[in-house]
Amino acid sequence: MEKVLQVSDVTIRFGGLTAVDHVSLEQYKGEILSLIGPNGAGKTTFFNLLTGVYQANEGEIVFKNTDVTKMKAYDRANFGIARTFQNIRLFTSMTVFENILIAHPGCNQEKIIPSVLFPRGMRKKRGAIIEKCQDILRIIGLEDMEDELAINLPYGKQRLLEIGRALATDPQLLLLDEPGAGMNGFEKKELTNVVRFITDVMQKDVLIIEHDMKFIMNISDRIVVLDHGTKIAEGTPSEIQSDEKVIQAYLGSGTFEDDDE
């Protein structure tokens, strides 16, 4: 199977604390890989390393057969890695539509001179961009709320909007950081459908951080478990469910419990 992402021994230290300690993983084309672990395990920090928010102290990140370890965050985004945030970071002063629009490279790479001198000449091009954005809104189910300010959306829809925004960058790899946090059962079903659409129909690769075990076991092809900055286990859902180290890391409870019902 084709390898999309190869992370080798990435490490980052903050002062005396090693937040991510020589973590390696691979992601293959077409698979949904999940990253789980107790709070503070370093999952979001790992995402930040992948996207370039943090620069790794050691290690290598190879994406699409290119070494992106030293690439800046915005370059990585343009190269095909998109993400959502654990604490939603939508552009609150913008509408739903604009949040999607601004992520579209055709929009945010617009140059000054054509925009100022020939705005009418750009109509056709911009029209195509607008259509594409409306397509994405349809995928995430927010096509009726184009003119609404992002901040006025209900929480679950804000999370979907963030996913839509990440999709608008036309990525190859989509990193979702706790996309289901705070969602109820119905919203999680919507989310599952959207993620499946992204991988099955749009042919993109997804790497998810989540805490909802039912959701994870249901959707993942493979799971990687982090604890205290290191990888402690890796495998299919059933392998992980019975892994001793993983069970111990989650405070030694015998079974995984659903956290919504």
Q: Give the residues lining the site for other proteins (CB under 8 A).
A: 14, 44, 48, 51-53, 72-75, 77-78, 82-83, 85, 89-95, 97-98, 101-103, 105-112, 115-116, 119, 122-124, 126-127, 130-131, 134-135, 138-141, 143, 146-147, 149, 160, 165-166, 168-169, 190, 193-194, 197, 201
Handedness of CA 69, 24, 193, 215 (dihedral sign): negative
Contacts of 234 (CB under 8 A, 6+ apart): 25, 222, 223, 224, 225
32 and 206 in contact (C-beta within 8 Å)?
A: yes
Distance CA 28, CA 54 (A): 24
In whole angstroms, how close is the CB of 236 to other proteins at the nearest point? Answer: 26
Name the residue nearer to other proteins (CB basis): 178 or 223.
178
Name the residue nearer to other proteins (CB basis): 82 or 219.
82
Name the residue nearer to other proteins (CB basis): 105 or 185.
105
Name the residue nearer to other proteins (CB basis): 36 or 49.
49
Other C-beta atoms lying within 10 Å of the C-beta of residue 12: 22
In whole angstroms, how close is the CB of 83 to other proteins at the nearest point? Answer: 6
Name the residue nearer to other proteins (CB basis): 74 or 155.
74
Name the residue nearer to other proteins (CB basis): 75 or 239.
75
In whole angstroms, how close is the CB of 224 to other proteins at the nearest point? Answer: 20
In whole angstroms, how close is the CB of 213 to other proteins at the nearest point? Answer: 23
In whole angstroms, how close is the CB of 33 to other proteins at the nearest point? Answer: 19
In whole angstroms, how close is the CB of 89 to other proteins at the nearest point? Answer: 4
